[in-house]
Amino acid sequence: MCSNTIRFDSLPKKTQALKEDFMKCSPNRNSTLIVCVSKLFPFEKKFLPQNRQRALTQEEIINRRKLKELEEKSDNKLETNAQKEDNIEITETNDENNKQMDDNDKVFIAFARVFSGSIRSGDTVYVLGPKHNPNKIDDNIEIDSNLTVSELSSDQHITKCQIKDLYILMGRELESANEVCAGNILGIGGLENHILKSGTLSSTIYCPPFIDLHLTTSIPILRVALEPQNPSEMPKLVNALKMLNQSDPCVDVKIQETGEHVIVTTGEVHLQRCITDLTQFSSIDINCSEPIVPFRETIVEPPKLDMTNELISAQRPASGTSNTTDGRIELYTVNKKSKIRFIAKPLPQEVCKLLEQNTSLLKIITRTQRKSAEFCEQITEKTLNSIQELRSRLKTAFIEAKWPEETVDQIWSIGPKYCGTNLLLSRIPDFNDNNVLQQILSKDNEIRNQYENSFVSGFQLATLAGPLCDEPLMSVCFIAEEWAVSSDNLDLNSGQIMSTVKECCRRSFQAQPQRLMAAMFSCSIQVDNDALVLTVNSDSGHSGIGRVIVSIGAFELSRIGTPTHHNIVSFTTAFAL
């Protein structure tokens, strides 16, 4: 439950006391209730136990038979006509109820497990979001029971609700239950307004939340825009998208600035599953746009030979021209009070891999750099050792790539979003910046330290959207070589620094050979050796970015006589396979 990066003794004492209840897994009602909700899944309302048609008892069958005999023996036509009218009214009301049931025939059931205590129908519990922090609450906090998860502010992660229905999962069916004790898996109804994707139920607000269980290795990158065939049915599509966002933890639902409704999936099969779910949720026909696969912008080393195979370094520029092939860019702010100079270089491949593999650790490093000294003291020793290990591995990778040894000590920021694969190095003379991989923060009263956050923000904006097609940058190192600020800084503001740094990074990026990086898809194809040539030709015939990485002689046998060939193709080409 608790993060490995925070020391356990730094949590409140009431939170530490919950460890005993959690380890005992006691079903006693006096124990603190701790329930983990891992996901929400849709279920048809008509199949719920309370809505299911039950079998008639023997007494009900006898009573109905007697009523039928009385109707047949009755000679009063008025009574029979009245009974027919009543039957018509009953059937009409039943039809109306069926229509209401069809309009909203899906409900969400929370898939959960009880780790401590027992939960009953009618209990009032706290619903804790994945970002809930027990260190930020006290006994005086008041939780409004009418609040839902959509009404919470960015710093609120607690709601309060009453448990309505409990279910025992019996295969594909649900059975009602009044109480479920610790150690059991159950379904809980009525939590769709309090949980988005996952959450924690507890009888105390000091319970730490379970971490978000939907951290998948597959990153959603396949983007499509959706719209109903009939524009008047847009509210049904919006409602279906909300249901999809809750039921599928691997999909991202967004609304673009243009008003388009976009879903981002992990692949073609996942996209087809999402479209099927949306059709079932909304019961309408949906138009889907062509898939949009994101790219990454990067730079490469400048070529050493020109098109005639002659050394570029041996060629001298003509007289009267300035040599600007080094890629250095100098810019001034609007008021001419500050000068900034940048140069962009491609990062070594090993350094880029290390940054990709340690994304979660980079987020922790960013948090420790932004927080106070008290927060830094809460970090576990294991996390500090991991940071030092990452620092030493980065240093080794830079040295092997023939970069200066002090490169790691010059890392000023990482982008985009402080956890990407782009670096900002500070080689500004006589300037003490806040190094990312060091815990000691600069406390100088120099003028430039007042605008340091603006400088870093400009770098973050530049790496988030590149100059080629507004895609994020990847594997680019921006080196700040000069940052001069006038002593008279009355007219200088943070916005000018931010915009100048952003523009300087973009121009230094454009001064180098630029490339677009396509997403690659790794697949395994089962095919006979005779048909392998046809498979490779059909693979590489679409965009020319497919290649077989395992030869015919070195294959894995999934079954006798049928080899499995591993292939890497571009993500756009994979749709034609």
Q: What is the 3-state secondary structure (H, E, C) of 383-445?
A: HHHHHHHHHHHHHHHHHHCCCCHHHHHHEEEEECCCCCCEEEEECCCCCCCCCCCCCCCCCCC
The reported pLDDT for the residue numbered 347 is 94
Residues in CB range of 186: below 8 A, 6 or more apart: 112, 113, 114, 119, 166, 167, 168, 169, 177, 180
Residues in CB range of 545: below 8 A, 6 or more apart: 518, 569, 570, 573
Please state, in angstroms and rounded to a whole number, the distance separating the CA atoms of residues 337 and 40: 56
The reported pLDDT for the residue numbered 572 is 62
The reported pLDDT for the residue numbered 182 is 92
Structure tokens at 555: 């294959």
Between 59-73, 244-258, 516-530, the lowest mean confidence (pLDDT) is in: 516-530
The reported pLDDT for the residue numbered 92 is 46
The reported pLDDT for the residue numbered 317 is 45
Q: How far is CA 262 from CA 156, 351, 471, in A?
A: 27, 34, 17
Looking at this protein, which amino acid is placed at residue 376?
C
Average pLDDT over the chain, rounded to whole? 79
Residue 113 confidence (pLDDT) above 90: yes
pLDDT tier for residue 552 given thresholds of 50, 70 and 90: very low
Query: Which of the pair, 540 or 208, is modelled with greater confidence?
Result: 208
Rounded average pLDDT over 207-233: 79
31: helix, coil or strand? coil
Residue 110 confidence (pLDDT) above 70: yes
- Nearest CA among 247, 244, 273 for reference residue 261: 244
Domain boundaries, the chain: 1-214, 222-288, 329-516, 518-576
74-90 pLDDT, tens per residue? 755 555 555 555 554 44
Q: Which CATH number is associated with domain 222-288? A: 3.30.70.870
Are 368 and 375 a contacting pair, CB within 8 Å?
yes
pLDDT tier for residue 295 given thresholds of 50, 70 and 90: confident
The reported pLDDT for the residue numbered 19 is 87
Between 50-64, 116-130, 161-175, the lowest mean confidence (pLDDT) is in: 50-64
Query: Which of the pair, 344 or 68, is modelled with greater confidence?
Result: 344
* Sheet containing 286-288: order of strands: 252-255, 261-265, 222-228, 286-288
394-404 pLDDT, tens per residue? 999 999 999 99
Rounded average pLDDT over 208-217: 67
Are 272 and 551 a contacting pair, CB within 8 Å?
no
Are 208 and 246 a contacting pair, CB within 8 Å?
no
Residue 94 confidence (pLDDT) above 50: no
Query: Which of the pair, 409 or 371, is modelled with greater confidence?
Result: 409
Fold for the domain defined by 1-214: Elongation Factor Tu (Ef-tu); domain 3 (2.40.30)
411-465 pLDDT, tens per residue? 999 989 888 899 999 998 877 766 666 544 444 556 777 888 899 999 999 999 9
The reported pLDDT for the residue numbered 381 is 80
Residue 567 confidence (pLDDT) above 50: yes
Please state, in angstroms and rounded to a whole number, the distance separating the CA atoms of residues 500 and 510: 15
Please state, in angstroms and rounded to a whole number, the distance separating the CA atoms of residues 164 and 157: 21
pLDDT tier for residue 563 given thresholds of 50, 70 and 90: low
Residue 533 confidence (pLDDT) above 80: no
Share of the chain above pLDDT 70, in %: 74
Residue 100 confidence (pLDDT) above 50: no
Rounded average pLDDT over 98-121: 78
Please state, in angstroms and rounded to a whole number, the distance separating the CA atoms of residues 112 and 186: 6
Residue 568 confidence (pLDDT) above 50: yes
Question: H/E/C letters for each residue in 84-137?
Answer: HHHHHHHHHHHHHHHHHHHHCCEEEEEEEEEEECEEECCCEEEEECCCCCHHHC
The reported pLDDT for the residue numbered 321 is 32
Rounded average pLDDT over 301-316: 63
Between 208-212, 253-257, 415-419, the lowest mean confidence (pLDDT) is in: 208-212
Domain 329-516: top CATH class: alpha beta
